[in-house]
Chain A
Amino acid sequence: SQQGEEDPQALSIQEGENATMNCSYKTSINNLQWYRQNSGRGLVHLILIRSNEREKHSGRLRVTLDTSKKSSSLLITASRAADTASYFCATDFNTDKLIFGTGTRLQVFP
């Protein structure tokens, strides 16, 4: 399967703590994206990092990419209860298709 693997599968933290989730993928990529899915909703795009970038920031989000290890991490700083959701990485390579990872379920307790 081309599907990426995410780690951990589930993560529970307290508000104010940082949350880190990791994504590993199998093939070369052009871009890697992170999406959030709230319960019962569709996915929402968070951030895109290109294969020639190593780190990217957007608000409280920080994404890193290590193409040599075929891995990426998403860090959410100063988490809030509203960050409770599932987070997915998605990759593409010379194609219009995105290959989604298995997701990390994040629970942030107030």
Chain B
Amino acid sequence: DAGVIQSPRHEVTEMGQEVTLRCKPISGHDYLFWYRQTMMRGLELLIYFNNNVPIDDSGMPEDRFSAKMPNASFSTLKIQPSEPRDSAVYFCASRGLAGGPHNEQFFGPGTRLTVL
């Protein structure tokens, strides 16, 4: 398995532009998590899905952020309009069935977003 795939790996955009980050979880995993990592705030959970359904979006900072999971193999995180303070590394992670022996999360390589 290729692991969790994220695209793009790097994104540089100007303030006010729409940004879309993409994630393909590991096949068969039914949980998907979006995180944001900054030096100031560390690793923050933004939202997570179970079986394509958003379960907890309490970490989404503002209405400018939205996330979707149209099917089991694809999710997007959209920022519209983007602001310089959104600059961070965004990670997607997936996890297998709850109740199993391990609930470790598998992380993608991240998307480094720079908003000018």
Interface size class of B (residues with CB under 8 A): 20 to 34
What are the interface flags for B72-99 relative to A under an 8 Å C-beta threshold, 1 for contact and 0 otherwise?
A: 0000000000000000000101010010
Given A97-B56, A100-B42, does the pair A45, B98 have CB atoms closer than 8 Å?
Answer: no
Determine whether the beta carbon of A3 is less than 8 Å from that of B42.
yes
Cβ–Cβ contact A92 & B103, under 8 A: yes
Does A98 touch B at the CB level, under 8 Å? yes
Max chain A CB contacts within 10 Å: which of B42, B48, B56?
Answer: B42
Number of A-B contacts (CB under 8 A): 48
Offer 26 A-B interface pairs, CB within 8 angstroms, sorted by A.
Answer: A3-B42, A31-B103, A33-B104, A40-B110, A41-B110, A42-B93, A42-B107, A42-B109, A43-B43, A43-B105, A43-B107, A45-B102, A48-B103, A96-B31, A96-B50, A96-B95, A96-B98, A96-B103, A97-B45, A97-B48, A97-B56, A98-B105, A100-B43, A101-B42, A103-B42, A103-B43
- A interface residues, Cβ below 8 angstroms from B: 3, 31, 33, 40-45, 48, 88, 92, 96-103
The interface of chain B, by Cβ under 8 A from chain A, is 4, 31, 42-43, 45, 48, 50, 55-56, 91, 93, 95, 98, 102-110
